């Protein structure tokens, strides 16, 4: 497994609704974020902030879930 995680812009898609596609982590999770109006670089930067926030929340929630599972390994029920 690599020593570091990744967060990268995978693509920009122009369609009915322009989006930036970001990839994160070893498993390469993807998240599509709508691009706002104006300068493309600024829109991508704003979308990256949104994506990073979402990925951080997912990471936090996944860690909390893992801790609950470990705490319940003694036979208790896992609560979601």
Which mean pLDDT values do the consecutive 10-residue runs of the chain (80 residues) have?
Answer: 73 93 84 91 93 88 90 64
The whole-number pLDDT of residue 73 equals: 75
Residue 78 lies in a domain: no
Coil, strand or helix: which one is 43?
helix
Q: With respect to residue 28, please indicate whether it lies within any of the assigned structural domains.
A: yes
pLDDT of residue 20: 95
Q: What is the pLDDT of residue 40?
A: 93
- Structural domain for 27, as ranges: 7-71
Q: Is residue 80 part of a domain?
A: no
The total number of structural domains in the chain stands at: 1
- What is the model's pTM? 0.69
Name the pairing type of β-strands 7-13 and 19-24: antiparallel
Is 15 within the bounds of a domain?
Answer: yes
Q: How far apart are CA 24 and CA 7, in angstroms?
A: 4
Does residue 24 lie in a domain region? yes
Q: How far apart are CA 32 and CA 51, in angstroms?
A: 8
Q: What is the pLDDT of residue 12?
A: 95
């Amino acid at each position: 497994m690599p020593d570091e995680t990744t967060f990268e812009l995978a693509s920009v898609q122009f369609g009915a609704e322009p989006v930036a596609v970001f990839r994160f982590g070893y498993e390469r999770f993807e998240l599509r974020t709508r691009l706002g109006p104006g300068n493309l670089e600024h829109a991508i930067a704003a979308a990256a902030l949104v994506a990073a926030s979402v990925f951080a929340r997912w990471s936090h929630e996944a860690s909390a879930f893992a801790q609950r599972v470990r705490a319940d390994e003694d036979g208790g029920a896992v609560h979601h």
